[in-house]
Structures are given as C-alpha cells and as structure tokens.
Amino acid sequence: MTEAAPTKKKHHCTCHSGDASPMHPRPFKVVKIWKELSDTFSMSLVPEDGQPIVFAPGQFNMLYVFGVGEVPISVSGDPTDLSTLVHTTRAVGNVSRALDALKEGMSVGVRGPFGTVWPLDIAEGKDLVFVAGGIGLAPLRPVIYQAMAYRHKYRNLAILYGARTPEDILFDKELLRWKARFDIDVQVTVDRSTGDWAGRVGLVTKLVECGGFDPANTVAYTCGPEVMMLHVVDSLHKRGVPHDRIYLSMERNMKCGVGFCGHCQWGTSFVCRDGPVFRFDTIADDLKVREL
C-alpha cells in the first residue's frame, strides 16, 4: 500500500523566540568547538537570549558568522537534550572555515530551524534502517538518538555506515558505543583500508544487501553523497523495501532557508523549503533528469 506523501512546508522556524523573523539571526554563544576529523568539526551552542532550543531530526539551521556570511548546516545533536545546539560540518568554504576558527565564548547568529524532518512516526512497529556515507551520518544522528530514546517503538534497528578510509569514520567512538548496546545492528565499512584496519572493506551498499532487517516491514533513511544514496535506494529496493518507505536528505545548494532566493530550486521544489528530507518516490522523476 502506498502511504500518503509527506506534507510540505510544515516544519519551519520553531527555533525562533517570540515573533522573530526567520530572516533575523538569533545570537548564540559558542560553548565548545572540537575536531571530529582532519577537515570536520562540531560546535556546541547556547542561546544568548535564554529562549528554548527546539528542532526536529532532519532540520537545519543557517549559521551566520558576523562580517563573513552564513551557511546552512544540519543539526547533529540529540533532540532529547535541548540544553545545547550541536552542528557538525566540514571546513571547506569561507563561512565554514570562519566557523571553525571561532573560539569558546564568541557569538554566532542562528536562523532556523528550517526544513522537513525524518518521519519517525510512520516507522513505529517496523524495522528501521539508517544508511549513511561520510559526513552524511551527521544529519542522521539526531533521528538515531530519537529512535534509541524510544527503542521500544521499533523492531530491528540497523545503522549501516561507509567512509572512504578508517581515518574518515565520523563519530567512531559513538559508533562503537552504539554497537555495544547489542539491541542495534551497527555495521561499518570503508572504501579503502589503511593502517591496521581489520573491519569490512567495500561499498556501503554491500551492507544493505546483507543487513538484518525485514524488507517488507522496513522504513529506511539515507544521507550522503547523492550518487551513494541512489545506489542505496537501488539496493534497498532490490531487497524488497518499497520506494515509499525510503527517505533521503537532499542537501542541495541551500542558501536562504525559506525558498526566497531560488538558489536551491529543483524542478518545482525548493530544497530548503520542501526538503531537505524527501520521500524517494516523490522525487524519483526529478532524480532522472540530468543537470536538474
């Protein structure tokens, strides 16, 4: 049976206090900033206005470095711990490098949260599969936290993660902690082995092919490079997971966060407004169009 398509434009701006405009950044203080990988960092923020932090797994914020600019970054923290706002990203552009250079106690502007969410409610009573590649684990981490917090609502829970090399494995200690729970199937693979790596070598799609879940009763979420996600969808579908139970985070070209500038327009959709989380069957035709 085909499930109803997710409603668009319904998860916007719940982080703002009072009647603040979604175009006005809210001041946050950097509590902690730390390296995850050689080019990847996380930062923990608290609101300077004392108003609560609210977000849902899958959403993103626009982080503004005063005098430099702003950049969209998915929330990577725990939605059940609203004492701090955590983001994880690569330092690859002017704004993200400026964020990486911030020190504890400095201020950053935050607009958001924006965008659609990972729909956990439809997965109750079913198997849950999370498939991530590289830094794609960061946008998935909040929904993994939430699924763990309400573990009794779901059947089998699998986290399948692929990285380029062992040195590129994001949240490696956390993956080990999750694996140690024994009620979660955590599998990690790398494209290329280095050093004393004794784990799996190969594409993350290989993990999908042998993952311990019931395809006919599974909801899957995937995030990572677009080509990886397409192969993951193909592997999931070959296992028997229907397209209307596969969700992707398409973090394409987002800029203003509210569908105003048109920078992320994708066919008839705006990724920042109608995504970034899409149900696969709702975007399958657009994904077939080259250069769209």
Interval 74-116: pLDDT, tens: 999 999 988 999 999 999 999 999 999 999 999 999 999 999 9
pLDDT at 106: 97
Task: Using the predicted structure, report yes or no on whether residue 219 has a pLDDT greater than 80.
Answer: yes
Give the Cα separation of 191 and 214 in Å (integer): 26
The CA distance from 102 to 165, in Å, is 28
| CB neighbours of residue 180 within 10 Å | 9
Rounded Cα distance, 31 and 176, in Å: 26
Q: Is 12's pLDDT higher than 70?
A: no
Q: Average pLDDT, whole number, for the chain? A: 90
More confident residue, 9 or 170: 170
pLDDT at 177 over 60: yes
Residue 13, pLDDT > 50, answer no
Q: From its phi and psi, is residue 248 left (phi > 0), alpha (psi between -120 and 50) or beta?
A: beta
Cβ atoms < 10 Å from Cβ of 19:
5
At residue 16, does pLDDT exceed 60?
A: no
End-to-end CA distance of the chain: 30
Reading the block at residue 21, the tokens are: 């405009």
Query: Is the pLDDT reported for residue 212 higher than 90?
Result: no
Task: Give the other-Cβ count within 10 Å of 199's Cβ.
Answer: 11
Question: pLDDT class for 20, splitting at 50, 70, 90?
Answer: low
Select from 287, 172, 149 the least CA-distant residue to 222: 287
Q: Does residue 269 carry a pLDDT above 80?
A: yes
For residue 291, name the pLDDT band (cuts at 50, 70, 90).
low
Q: What percentage of the chain carries pLDDT values higher than 70?
A: 92
The yes-or-no verdict on residue 266 having pLDDT over 90 is no
Angstrom CA distances, 91 to 25, 69, 236, stand at 21, 14, 32
**Contact residues for 29 (Cβ-Cβ < 8 A; gap 6+):** 45, 46, 47, 48, 105, 106, 107, 108
The DSSP secondary-structure symbol of 2 reads: P
Q: Please list, in sequence order, all residues whose beta carbon lies within 8 angstroms of the beta carbon of residue 148, skipping any fewer than 6 positions away.
A: 157, 178, 181, 184
CB contact at 8 A, 266 and 252? yes
> φ and ψ at 58, to 5 degrees?
110, -20
The span from the CA of 189 to the CA of 187, in Å, is: 7
Which candidate, 203, 180, 131, 183, places its Cα nearest to that of 160? 131
Compute the average pLDDT of residues 9-35. Answer: 69
β partners of residue 288: none
